[in-house]
Structures are given as structure tokens and as C-alpha cells.
Amino acid sequence: MSSAALAYPGKSAEAFRTISEVAVELDVPQHVLRFWESRFAQVKPVKRAGGRRYYRPDDIDLLKGIRALLYSDGFTIKGVQKVLKDRGLRHVAEIGRGGVPAMAAPAPLVIEKVVYVEKPAAAPVRKQRPTHLRAVPDISLPFFDVPAQPVKREPVVERVVESLQEMQIADAPVAEESGMASDQRERLEELLDELTGLKARLRGARDT
């Protein structure tokens, strides 16, 4: 016999119960019953004019089974929905009648946390020098030659003196044969002496 029938001895076993009567029997507020109705499609009370709900004895047993799974066995709303889907409403109603022992809530699913550690960037690899390329000593290529030292030029005065000395030696016989005037020759010799003295002073100043 339905547990609802035993709770109301003044009514027949098949008599419908109002939402207030069911709320008292299950010890839950009426809005909770409405909430369960919105979450569990298997709960379908008869609705009359004005939206009044009337529960059949099987509806009450189903609600008791849902209450036992939620409050006693620790199931969540989704957990009870899964039980109703997998076992059926008859199984849950039997729990409400006390004919099926209480069920243990499934153990929570443990999800391992995977931590990704970014590896440090590898140090750049130095490119090794090819072993088949070796420096060969004592080889001079044109574009590797050391630039030649600039030619040190002698002062203009020294060059003039040397030129005059060469002219004096080379042209002496010619001057005698051509009858060069003695005063011109003396003037040339004086100029050569002055330049020679100037050359000696320049060398002395450069050496010091």
C-alpha cells in the first residue's frame, strides 16, 4: 500500500492530496515542491482550475524518493536526474516507500590538474669554424698587403743645390769654351755656396 494512503487514514488509498498536505507530509515548503516539479519532468501532479495541484499516491512516493536522494544520500539535482534517467521513476518511488535501501552518492570526480611549465629558451649555439679552413702563414695577397710607406721627399732646397752642383761639374768645360763672363761665373758660385750653407743648416735642424 502506498505510504500516502497510510498518512491520511480519513481518505481512500487512491484519493488525491493537495500541495499543502504533501508539503506537511514531506516536511518541505510548498515552493520547494514547485521547484522540484520544474527540475524533474517525472513529477506531474494533476492541475485543476485555478492552477491547483493534486498529487496522486504514486506522485507522493516519487517526491519522497527524490527527497531521500537529495537530503539523505547527498545527491545533487543533476545526480537525481541521472538516477531517474538510468533507473527510472519506479526505482526512485520504491526508495520513497522504503522498499529500496538508501543509495550512496557517487564519489566526486577528481580531475588531475596539469601544470605546464614553459622551458627556458635554449642558449644560442655558436657556429663552429670549419676545420678545413686554416690560416696559412707567410702568404701575402695583393689586397692584404700592407700599404707601402710614403716616399720621404727631400727638401726643395737640397734638390736645387744638388742640381746646381751637377750643372757646375757638367757645364764647367762648356762655360770656359763659350767664354762665360767671370762675373757671371762668380755670381753662380756665390749662389751655390749660399745654397750649400742653407742645405747644411737644414740638415742640422732636422737632426736635432
pLDDT of res. 198: 79
| pLDDT digit string, tens, across residues 54-73 | 999 999 999 999 999 999 99
- Residue 71 in any domain: the answer is yes
What is the CATH classification number for the domain harbouring 28? 1.10.1660.10
* 74 or 173, which is more confident: 74
Compare 65 and 189 and report the one with higher pLDDT. 65
| Per-residue pLDDT reduced to its tens digit, 22-48 | 999 999 999 999 999 999 999 999 998
pLDDT confidence of residue 161: 58
For 116-154, give one letter per residue: b (16+ CB within 10 A) or e: eeeeeeeeeeeeeeeeeeeeeeeeeeeeeeeeeeeeeee
Final residue before a domain boundary, out of 76, 97, 118: 97
163 and 82 fall within a common domain: no
CA distances from 140 to 135, 137, 144, 146, 149 (A): 12, 9, 6, 9, 17
Lookup: cell for 79: 545526480
Element (H, E) at 53: strand 53-55
Other CB atoms closer than 10 Å to residue 16's CB: what's the count?
19
- Residue 98: its pLDDT value, please? 87
Q: List the grid coordinates of 103.
A: 543509495
How far apart are the C-alpha atoms of 178 and 36, rounded to whole Å?
A: 150
Q: CA–CA separation, 23 vs 29, rounded Å?
A: 6
Q: Would you say residue 41 lies in a domain?
A: yes
Residue 95 CA to residue 73 CA, distance in Å, equals 11
Q: Return mean pLDDT, the chain.
A: 75
Give 4's pLDDT tier (boundaries 50, 70, 90).
very low
Residue 34 lies in a domain: yes
Residue 26 within any structural domain of the chain: yes
Does the pLDDT value for residue 51 go beyond 90?
no
Q: What string of DSSP letters covers 151-173?
A: PPPPPHHHHHHHHHHHHHHHHHH
| Domain-embedded: residue 129 | no
Range of the domain at 41: 3-97
Does residue 73 form part of some domain?
A: yes
Domain count, the chain: 2
Q: Flag whether 120 is in a domain.
A: no
Q: What is the pLDDT of residue 84?
A: 95
Question: pTM of the prediction?
Answer: 0.47
Whether 8 is covered by a domain: the verdict is yes
Residues 169 and 85 in one domain: no
